[in-house]
Structure 1
Amino acid sequence: MTEWYARIAPSLPDWAGGTVLAVTVAVLAVLIALAIHAIAFRLLFKVVKASRSEADNIVLRRLARPTRYALVALALVLVGREIPALATVWERIAGFVMPALIGWIALTLVHALVKTLKLRNDIEMEDNLRARSAQTRLTIFNRLATFLIVFVTVGLMLLSVPGVRDIGVTLMASAGLAALAVGAAAQPALKALISGVQLALTEPIRIGDAVIIGGEWGWIEEIRTTYVVVKVWDERRLVVPTNKFLEEIFQNWTKTTAQLLGTVYLYVDPATELEPIRARFFDLVEDNARWDRRVRHMQVTDLTRDAIEVRLLMTAKDSPTLYDLRCDIREALIQWIAAEMPEALVRGRVISVGEDGKALGPPSARALALMEAGSGG
């Protein structure tokens, strides 16, 4: 190729001819590599399109970009064996380019793998405990793997710089003091990182869990290596350090199952007949689509001087549905009692006692009229 180029450009100096030749060959190699990549991936996309699995499409789409640049780098390596000038330039940048490409491809494969596994664990189903557990572990694994791949890739790229390598050797000579300084400075970050690994292994919380922490009720929306995002019922987000879920007490309403048991409390007059309320409660629960048909129960749980405490139990498939179910039943029962059993409403009583210490009966109409006239009413 060099002799062919020398025949068509005899007037150019040797250095100029070598440079133009290297650039020309490099451009041709890049164009050929891009053409091969485009043809190959077009055929692969046609094959994957015929498949019903979404995982194949995800992997292929994510690998398209990094493999394109990897194929370009391979083409430059192959032509560099024949063109000395191109080989010299490539040797200077290969220490940066190759680790970056390998790290990019590894990162892409990890993200594609996590994405495909998440598709197989749908948390939209009713009994989604296993799916939420799998998604939580996949999310934390994805974060840790991303951190390790980026860390190793940057380290390999820096090692290709002679000055940085010499600095590393010098630092190793004083590794004792350096280790103490780095350990003291990185203690919070390492603690948070270890906490993230503990969350993945022990699973005190999962994505989608209903929790109460810091007096706030919400759902676990996102789990990262250093913090957890809790979505509160009023659309606020709590950013909670990861170690808080390992060192402090919190409530997890969906630790073993997404199905929950909820309560509604009513306070009625002590003289109230309870069977009509019980029958109405059963009818309301049965007619409500949010009830999962597991538990419906009514109990008298307390008695005070002025009221009876009635506890109504009901179940639903998850915490948002249970909250709405409780609100529906509470509202419907209050309206029904006010319309059909007003005597059940809690009221205050005044008992008159005569001189003999016995309770007097209710005042007569004449007595009430005299009391009203005496008060100026």
Structure 2
Amino acid sequence: MSGLTEALAASRADESRRAARALLRRPLLRQTDDDFVLVRRHAPALREWFERNTGWHLLVDSEMARLAKTVAGAGDATRPARDVKSKQAFGRRRYVLVCLALAALSRAEAQITLGRLAEQVVLGAADPRLSAAGVGFELEGRDERADMVAVVRLLMDIGVLGRVAGDEDSFVKDTGDVLYDVRRRVLGALLTAPRGPSTIEATDFGERLAALTRELPPTTDDLRNQRIRHHLTRRLLEDPVLYYAELDEVERTYLTGQRAAITARITELTGLVAEVRAEGIAMVDPYDDLTDVRMPESGTEGHATLLVAEHLAGAADREVPVEEIHELLRRKAVEHKNYWRRDVADPGAERALAATALTRLLALRLISRTGNVVVARPALSRYRVAEPTIQETA
């Protein structure tokens, strides 16, 4: 019986770990998603863990599971929304279209066509405040239609819209339309801010964003320690690396005393393994499915990124101009011409390749960049190539 009990306990722990990882990977799950049943089964324990350790709320009902994650800081620009098909990062106009589309959907019927949604977005974009900010959208031409389709595909991926009939490519070509179901339950659960945007009086964007994400200040020592624990656990779960230098003195002191307990709790819940170095902590995923940016990765861009990382790791004691990266990739494009895509040898192609590589390294918190100067961060040292050691044989 003891063996059976242990086996059942291990099975429950594995299920709970899979459910937690599913929520971290995709904070909004619908009932049709693979791991939804596991999340519902382990909802009480997961809800208690996230509330106690991160301050994130978990809502689970018969239609969906929503982990209301809030970021540790609003200044990270390395995780943009991306086109579901092309993976191209959203620009300013597409972000505005997302907000206008959500506003239109909140007033829509149970079903809506892409053309009708686009008309509502055009009306919203006519707001003089948007025009004054330099944002315009009139649904003229293929580019604007493609922007609208990219927004709709993002909303479909999230689960706000469900395609009933039609094809988005026909809308881009102006030869057809698409019909969608509007999933109001999902739509209503998207916003995870501590307060509603309509309650904020500030007009400056930075001030509005700060007010939207501001949490009530702690009033006791226990609440202050809880806030620090939430902040540190969020960063260890969300950021590739947590550097001690980025923490204030109170946070560093707390982490020094509680590091083993915090990382052990994360490991027990998620299976992530703590890699502790002198400069900071990284929670490493042995299953490699909790990250949206991988390093290394196959393909021309992946190989180029690895070569740039190696070069910067070897120059960790100095600032590296971006032009030096361009020159490096020009040479490597010739050196690896039999393996890389042919177009990377074209004049100027090294700039796009360098931009992709540096964006990935920034997202992984392996480098910092100021203007046209790049500096290696401590975690990049793992990509430093050491001189080989030859052992003498007896």
**Normalising to structure 1: TM-score of the pair?**
0.22
Query: What TM-score, normalized by structure 2, do the two folds share?
Result: 0.21
Q: Which structure is higher in RCO with an 8 Å CA cutoff and minimum separation 6?
A: 2
